[in-house]
Structure 1
Amino acid sequence: MLSQLKGKVGSVLLPGDEFAMDSLSTGDTISLSAPSKPNKMVCGPGLRRCGDRLLVFRGGLLRHKEPNMFWIDAHQKRYVAAKGETVIGIVTSRTGDLFKVDVGASELASLSYLAFEGATKRNRPNVQVGDLLFAQLLVANKDMEAELVCVDSAGRANGMGVFGAGGLLFRVSLGLVRRLLAPQSDIRAELEQLFPCEMVVGMNGRVWVKSSSNQRTLILANLLESCENMTTAQRRQVLGKMAQGSF
């Protein structure tokens, strides 16, 4: 099984494609959690085990991460909330001690005023309707309302909270988001080299940018939206021409 999948990494797989489990050696399993043994395989988004078969239920490129994690990288615009992901939300209302936040999913998420670093009943955070929030999903499943926090496991903000003064918020596909959040993202590095800027990327497909002027901010936003449909050579050619101009 592992050799079959590794041989297909980078290939386009379609819904309905399947792999037989017969080639798995004794002790190998398909898991939805992190592997505890080197020979255990982790199924990510787009792959599902069905009896003695491994099924593909989302079309896209097969990706692999060492040691044995596989998933389907697909073009997707609709966001489905997932626990642990960091997202950009918009505060829509306040109900009692809870804020309602739009994260781009099918339903609003809730955020307690105590879910901020240093927040207490007397020291409440200054959050207004319409503010942008960079937050993490603490609870996210189909049977419960999504819940956000603006602190990490140690109770620190770690970059989360209210932000967005003077910048521009726009939407991109989830595939482009994953490319921007990669540890060594060529797209992000090349854009920041062209125009020094602040950039916040949410796993829900929202991106916020701010540069030294409104014109540069708009140019960066347009370039980001165009990058997904360009090859690496085309992108570098466009950025090279932009670098020769004066803005």
Structure 2
Amino acid sequence: MASPTIILPGDTLQLSQPNAPKLGPNLHLLSSQSESQEPQQASTQIIAASQAGLLTSETKRNTTTSVLPFPKTRYTPCQNDLVIAQIHHSSQDFFHCIITPNSPHAFLGQLSFEGATKKTRPQLKAGEIVYARVLSVGVGAGGEIELACVNTATGKAEPDGLGPLTGGMVFDVSTLFASRLMMTGAERKDGSGPGGVVVLEELGRKFEGHGGFEVAVGRNGKVWVDSSAEGDVGVRMVVAIGRCLKETDDKRLDVLGQKKLVLRVLKEMGLGK
């Protein structure tokens, strides 16, 4: 796919590629067939979209076709999405979580954590946050949403780092920017792909001497940031990263603009060399 294509909910498309592409969030396979019995030959897929946005293809080992939402699009939960959720309250078997202000509470099983038992399950309180995967989404606007902080196939929190997020700060970004941040580095680093985001890589190089930082990105427009540095330096690092992310998103900065932004913000916060 040479350039992004605008797609609307309910639109169907036919894709024909040498290897069947993986489908990202908000795309659903309707039918698939191979055009030849020979390996590596083109296969045809009929797919449908459940959200408006730009249809893009991202290549790294396998081709992934996905929908990048428009900047002002509200987040709509989709199966397999990674999200940052806030605990609202708990019941006997579940934590009731907030994903967005406009969606019903999501259910997170109290045993849906790596190694969790009735005795060792995390005791999460209202206001605490978790990095979770959407397991299922009910039918209709009020359908139940189920989350898990573990890979159901392996019983592990990795490789996504699922589970409670302690410390750090959470910043709000657009759903489009969150999707761009979650794209693979192969498409983002030179700015040639649909992601075009290098701000985190630039900050990572600048903060190597301070021990670096951790980031978790949710498709619901939330970014959690925590620093390895202690005290005032750690706090300033987290705030600087949040400022850079927000300004890159709000001003839709290109690669050069992001690099200049990082230098300016670090200088203003006394973190530059």
TM-score (norm 2): 0.69
Offset of residue 42 of structure 1: 5.1
Partner of 2:145: 146
Identity %: 24
Offset of residue 32 of structure 1: 2.5
Partner of 2:243: 222
Partner of 1:233: 256
Offset of residue 122 of structure 1: 3.1
1:11-44 deviation digits (Å, cap 9, x = unpaired): 6x4869x9998xx9xxxxxx83295643313536
- One-letter amino acid of the counterpart of residue 231, structure 1: D
- One-letter amino acid of the counterpart of residue 120, structure 1: T
Partner of 1:183: 184
Unaligned runs of 5+ in 1: 1-5, 25-30, 48-57
Coordinate RMSD, CA, aligned: 3.1
In the alignment, does 2:98 pair up with 1:82?
no
Distance of 1:43 and 1:65 partners within structure 2: 16
Closer, same or farther in 2 for the Cα pair 1:69/1:182, shift >3 Å?
closer
CA contact (8 A) 1:63 1:73 kept: no
CA contact (8 A) 1:45 1:72 kept: no
CA contact (8 A) 2:89 2:95 kept: yes
Partner of 1:162: 164
Offset of residue 138 of structure 1: 0.9
Offset of residue 242 of structure 1: 4.5
Unaligned runs of 5+ in 2: 17-26, 35-41, 189-197
Offset of residue 219 of structure 1: 1.4
Closer, same or farther in 2 for the Cα pair 1:35/1:183, shift >3 Å?
farther
Q: Please say which structure displays the higher CA radius of gyration.
A: 1
1:155-192 deviation digits (Å, cap 9, x = unpaired): 11222111131x11121011111121111042321122
After TM superposition, the structure 1 = structure 2 runs for residues 1-247 of structure 1, keeping only pairs within 5 Å, are: 6=1, 9-10=3-4, 13=6, 32-33=28-29, 37=34, 38-41=42-45, 43=47, 45=49, 58=52, 60-65=53-58, 69=65, 71=67, 73-104=69-100, 106-143=103-140, 144-152=143-151, 153-158=153-158, 159-165=161-167, 167-184=168-185, 185=188, 186-195=198-207, 196-211=212-227, 212=229, 213-228=234-249, 229-242=252-265, 246-247=270-271
- One-letter amino acid of the counterpart of residue 205, structure 2: Q
Closer, same or farther in 2 for the Cα pair 1:41/1:129, shift >3 Å?
same
Offset of residue 64 of structure 1: 2.5
Between 219-228 and 234-243, the greater mean CA deviation after superposition? 234-243
Closer, same or farther in 2 for the Cα pair 1:142/1:181, shift >3 Å?
same
- One-letter amino acid of the counterpart of residue 145, structure 1: E
Closer, same or farther in 2 for the Cα pair 1:42/1:230, shift >3 Å?
farther
1:85-139 deviation digits (Å, cap 9, x = unpaired): 1111100101222110111151110111111122223333222222110111111
Secondary structure at the residue paired with 2:113?
coil
Partner of 1:53: none
Offset of residue 199 of structure 1: 0.9
The number of aligned residues is 219
CA contact (8 A) 1:82 1:137 kept: yes
Secondary structure at the residue paired with 2:126?
coil
Offset of residue 65 of structure 1: 4.1
CA contact (8 A) 1:88 1:103 kept: yes
Between 73-82 and 153-162, the greater mean CA deviation after superposition? 73-82
Distance of 1:161 and 1:168 partners within structure 2: 16
Offset of residue 202 of structure 1: 0.9
Secondary structure at the residue paired with 1:115?
strand
Distance of 1:72 and 1:199 partners within structure 2: 20
Offset of residue 194 of structure 1: 2.5
